Structure 1
Amino acid sequence: MGNWKLEVGRMAMYMSFPVVLFHYFNQPTYFEEWVTKTKRNIFPPENPQDKEAIQQLIKDMRTKQIQQFEGE
């Protein structure tokens, strides 16, 4: 068995190793690019043509509903 200095050194290593790894791997510079790419894949930027098509569809649905209510 080792003396107390060896045991203190081992305990310091056991306690500091996970903390150092947590600090190293949780830096935003390491995963910022990956997060940005993933967000762009899940939520792509709005396309003006798609937005116009949705607005036209909403307008058409409202006019259709108004016509149905007036017909009743």
Structure 2
Amino acid sequence: MGVKIEVFRMMLYLSFPVTMFWISNQAEYFEEYIVKRKVRKSFKRKELEDFKERMRVRKEQRLLKSEN
């Protein structure tokens, strides 16, 4: 009985990483999760850059008002 359990455990240990590798390399998974995530990330980066620019302009205006 001990050999059968060891064979089962070894198959389980080997099948899990192989299955996860196979699932993660599916084209649908890659497109749905990775590509869409990058698009959202670039959109957030654009929003952050716009915010920084608005804050920079606001600070410059405040400094110009305080000098006058």
- The normalised TM-score by structure 1 is 0.47
**More helix by percentage:** 2
- Which one has the largest radius of gyration? 1
